[in-house]
Chains A and B, each alone.
Chain A
């Protein structure tokens, strides 16, 4: 049989809380160790123990990171989803199952490989049999795919850092699984893993930890947070790193962490910290943003810096708390009542999570406003490759803060909200300084910060705010553009769709269409985004939600003559974006017929 090298998808069906995450990460990391391009998607339930969970591993020499539209190897461990997992397997799939579950697999059209995983695990350690059983499918898979023993050992060591006994037991289980597969599985599998040259600088990290590190290198002074999936690990990562790398000379912390009573309070603390001159942040998900909205408006109107990271999960309401989506974008951009507009940074890689982690504070203080980081569960909680984070190339930008009488005296006709420089950004003084104190307020105020209901004053204030945020456009991260010479179809996308775009692009181009891509990395959008739209015949705005939220924003802000060529392709079912799903929608939307496709 012809071998298919480094091009397959494994779907592992287990139950939550059975230790399968360790087994899955060992598989992922061992292939990564071998230099193979892999991605892992953890599809977990909103539950601590017992509900079904799936882990998808995609190996792809082409670098595709989407979950894959087809499953080549299905591992079934969970009796609750057994029948469905078996049934949905396509003909030809390799099905590996735990014989001790004692459930049938009636699929003559598939290669079915059983192993008494629980029984074998029990012989090593009866107490840990439930957890250890998972290591047997690791061994079985390693054998049939040809994963190096050395790479497996390295991944196991990494997984159970320092726990010698655990490393030994799990290695034994994996070894036994390997032997069993070799001796019992009559299997002629086409898919194999082949080692590739690995960049020694690379490692895997999830987006939340990358963001956390970025925030710490951005000088965060105060983290207030309220636990919510999928953002909790961002806060917990900051909490974990602070004592290691952010203590003062006297051993005290240089960042205060408060677990707030709710998201409202968390946002209030961010604003208090920013008002007092510090770098405050919180992290949350959509439901938290809904609760924070009142404070977001206050920060916008009173012009207080702060950072809020939204790790998007599926809404509306409580929605699917452990699934991924890009449906908070409009909410962030226009959060709170009245006319508002906020800066949103949209990382698409873990490197950008780190970068925007520190940059968000600079933008917040530069523009004296709230800055959102917009991540999602897929980017935040799954493991992605980095070649190592780059140290901030710029010093901290503390913005227009007058700290001394001399600095204050240098400003002619100072007023807290007076636009001295013509960029819409006024100067501020800090509490404790005694310099031109004012009572900050969410009510209407004049240039000196004094309460005002004067129509002209109100209009001037909100017009300046508009100008201020508008002025940020080209200072925010520019889009990443990959242009085809033909400028035929342009796909505008953002965030974690980055992990699927290459595959989408390749499938489309295989049909003969020339596709350029433009990844928007911030709102308000950069002028290069408009240029990209201008240059292309047809524009597809691709996103993981129902209504086309970026599409709506672009339509609202682009010149009218560009609107007719913009098409919306939005789809979300809670899953990370699968390439073929979006390709089909794009072709249908653009009216490309099957004949042309063929």
Chain B
């Protein structure tokens, strides 16, 4: 038996440096597939693990930061409040790469306010919603993203209209909005890698079936249902900035290249109708059309790189605030004396 050489990424690290602890989620959970894709994407992109901060709220999804990127600091915060903690951390250390993991309960219900405002500020992070339409950790209550007419394993059919997080994000001016499926490894990996190369808020809403409470065929978020009803906008390929030009294949059909902040490219190959991700209205229309047919539209829905991020908008000093020296944090004694004197008449 011959030993295979350990494969290293562009910064000479093995994939093992990106893995985490053992998952305690139900066997087959979509979330575990997403964790694997996060590991894969971070490794392939060659991001140093210590420069990543993994953030989450509360719920099945929010437990997953324990299962990936074991060499990165992380914070499993409180329910629905991951964005605010991420905001504070981002202000203090803008050089970190923030990966936030949330769920549909965590984002679309209790945390909807913080989701909205993090987008509005264009917080520089990847915001992954592991969206299964149910509250798993409390044993399967419907969440606010579940489609009207969808039915989980037990109980009645949901009659409330869903909150579509991608529609919300697009309406709020989010610069990177994608939807994918935990079972679409190739698509999700490309989108995840692109999100990590984007500067600003990148929302990826991932349909991630709950194998325990809603994987029955009447559930619009079950494996079988999503597989049969997934309208891919395009086929996606991620080409990292460090790939030599001669190694990049030119596709046969029509395609669109999106240049990302770090110089990498997301290549969108046309499948059916052409989708222009710069057109927010077209993206909303695509979601709307799919929704009417109880189908899911996946791919890069919307992209716009023109906005300042939250930290850029504040005109902070170049150095991350966490690295400031004492004399940069505390004005001098003379300054205080000047202040005292300015108040003295």
Binding site for B on A (CB under 8 A): 29, 33, 154, 158, 200-205, 213, 216-219, 221-222, 224, 245-258, 260-262, 264-280, 294-295, 298, 302, 358, 388-389, 391-392, 395-396, 429-434, 437-443, 451
Closest CB-CB distance, B193 to chain A, in whole Å?
Answer: 22
Closest CB-CB distance, A382 to chain B, in whole Å?
Answer: 16
Given A268-B87, A280-B88: A248 in contact with B93 (beta carbons within 8 A): no
In the complex, 30 of the A-B residue pairs with CB atoms within 8 angstroms, ordered by the A residue number, are A201-B340, A247-B317, A248-B318, A250-B318, A252-B317, A253-B314, A256-B314, A261-B114, A261-B117, A265-B83, A265-B84, A265-B117, A269-B88, A271-B85, A271-B88, A275-B88, A276-B53, A276-B88, A276-B93, A358-B330, A388-B344, A392-B330, A430-B322, A431-B93, A431-B96, A432-B93, A432-B320, A433-B50, A438-B73, A439-B75
Q: Does B306 contact A (CB under 8 A)?
A: no
Closest CB-CB distance, A262 to chain B, in whole Å?
Answer: 7
Cα distance, A255 to B88, chains bound together (Å): 11
Counting contact residues on chain B (CB < 8 A from A), the size range is 35 or more
Cα distance, A280 to B319, chains bound together (Å): 17
Given A221-B324, A245-B335, A246-B331: A154 in contact with B88 (beta carbons within 8 A): no
Q: Which residues of chain B come closer than 8 Å to A224, judged between CB atoms?
A: 84, 87-88
Q: Which residues of chain A come closer than 8 Å to B315, judged between CB atoms?
A: 252-253
Given A246-B331, A440-B75: A222 in contact with B96 (beta carbons within 8 A): no
Closest 9 CB pairs of A and B: A272-B88, A268-B84, A434-B50, A248-B317, A278-B92, A219-B329, A252-B317, A269-B88, A431-B73
B322 touches A275 (CB 8 A): no
Q: Does B91 contact A (CB under 8 A)?
A: yes
Chain A residue with Cβ nearest B93: A276
Given A431-B96, A437-B70, A439-B65: A217 in contact with B330 (beta carbons within 8 A): yes
Chain A residue with Cβ nearest B70: A437
Q: Which residues of chain B come closer than 8 Å to A249, judged between CB atoms?
A: 317
Q: Which residues of chain B come closer than 8 Å to A274, judged between CB atoms?
A: 88
Q: Does B216 contact A (CB under 8 A)?
A: no
Q: Does B95 contact A (CB under 8 A)?
A: yes
Q: Which of A203, A221, A246 contacts B345 (CB 8 A)?
A: A203
A258 touches B96 (CB 8 A): no
Within 8 A of A (CB), among B109-130: 113-114, 116-117, 121
Given A254-B317, A255-B321, A433-B50: A261 in contact with B339 (beta carbons within 8 A): no
Q: Which residues of chain B come closer than 8 Å to A275, judged between CB atoms?
A: 75, 85, 88-89
Q: Which of B74, B335, B344, B345 contacts A440 (CB 8 A)?
A: B74
Given A265-B114, A432-B320, A433-B50, 10 further pairs, Cβ under 8 A: A204-B343, A218-B330, A253-B315, A254-B324, A268-B85, A273-B89, A276-B90, A278-B88, A294-B78, A430-B322
Q: Does B76 contact A (CB under 8 A)?
A: yes
B81 touches A437 (CB 8 A): no
Q: Which residues of chain A come closer than 8 Å to B48, judged between CB atoms?
A: 434
Binding site for A on B (CB under 8 A): 48-51, 53-54, 65-66, 70-78, 81, 83-93, 95-96, 113-114, 116-117, 121, 310-311, 314-322, 324, 326, 328-331, 333, 335-337, 339-340, 343-345
Given A254-B321, A265-B87: A278 in contact with B326 (beta carbons within 8 A): no
B317 touches A432 (CB 8 A): no
Chain B residue with Cβ nearest A201: B344
Q: Which residues of chain A come closer than 8 Å to B114, judged between CB atoms?
A: 261, 264-265, 268
Cα distance, A439 to B72, chains bound together (Å): 8
Chain B residue with Cβ nearest A32: B345
Given A265-B117, A276-B88, A295-B81: A439 in contact with B330 (beta carbons within 8 A): no
Q: Which of A248, A389, A396 contacts B336 (CB 8 A)?
A: A389
Q: Which of B70, B86, B92 contacts A277 (CB 8 A)?
A: B92
Closest CB-CB distance, A434 to chain B, in whole Å?
Answer: 3
A273 touches B88 (CB 8 A): yes
B66 touches A439 (CB 8 A): yes
B73 touches A432 (CB 8 A): yes
Chain B residue with Cβ nearest A265: B84
Q: Which residues of chain B come closer than 8 Å to A248, judged between CB atoms?
A: 317-319, 324, 328
Cα distance, A298 to B84, chains bound together (Å): 13
A439 touches B54 (CB 8 A): yes
Closest CB-CB distance, A539 to chain B, in whole Å?
Answer: 38
Closest CB-CB distance, B308 to chain A, in whole Å?
Answer: 14
Closest CB-CB distance, B333 to chain A, in whole Å?
Answer: 5
Given A221-B321, A438-B74: A269 in contact with B84 (beta carbons within 8 A): yes
A437 touches B345 (CB 8 A): no
Q: Which residues of chain B come closer than 8 Å to A200, judged between CB atoms?
A: 344
Cα distance, A246 to B92, chains bound together (Å): 15
Q: Which residues of chain A come closer than 8 Å to B330, judged between CB atoms?
A: 217-219, 358, 392, 396
Among A247, A392, A434, residue most surrounded by chain B Cβ atoms (within 10 Å): A434
A272 touches B92 (CB 8 A): yes
Closest CB-CB distance, A438 to chain B, in whole Å?
Answer: 7
Q: Which of A247, A258, A261, A437 contacts B74 (CB 8 A)?
A: A437
Q: Which residues of chain A come closer than 8 Å to B311, judged between CB atoms?
A: 256
Among B90, B117, B330, residue most surrounded by chain A Cβ atoms (within 10 Å): B330
Cα distance, A451 to B53, chains bound together (Å): 19
Chain A residue with Cβ nearest B319: A248
Given A218-B330, A252-B316, A439-B74: A273 in contact with B339 (beta carbons within 8 A): no
Cα distance, A268 to B75, chains bound together (Å): 12
A221 touches B89 (CB 8 A): no
Q: Which of A203, A213, A219, A294 contacts B326 (CB 8 A)?
A: A219
Cα distance, A302 to B54, chains bound together (Å): 16
Among B91, B318, B322, residue most surrounded by chain A Cβ atoms (within 10 Å): B91
Q: Which residues of chain B come closer than 8 Å to A262, judged between CB atoms?
A: 113
Cα distance, A295 to B189, chains bound together (Å): 33
Closest CB-CB distance, A264 to chain B, in whole Å?
Answer: 6
A437 touches B90 (CB 8 A): no
Cα distance, A31 to B117, chains bound together (Å): 48
Q: Which residues of chain B come closer than 8 Å to A279, judged between CB atoms?
A: 329
Closest CB-CB distance, B17 to chain A, in whole Å?
Answer: 11
Closest CB-CB distance, A590 to chain B, in whole Å?
Answer: 42
Cα distance, A455 to B39, chains bound together (Å): 33
Cα distance, A443 to B335, chains bound together (Å): 44
Q: Which residues of chain A come closer than 8 Å to B87, judged between CB atoms?
A: 224, 258, 265, 268-269, 272
Cα distance, A213 to B342, chains bound together (Å): 13
Among A154, A298, A396, A441, residue most surrounded by chain B Cβ atoms (within 10 Å): A441
B113 touches A265 (CB 8 A): yes
B93 touches A277 (CB 8 A): yes
A221 touches B343 (CB 8 A): no
Given A277-B322, A439-B74: A431 in contact with B89 (beta carbons within 8 A): yes
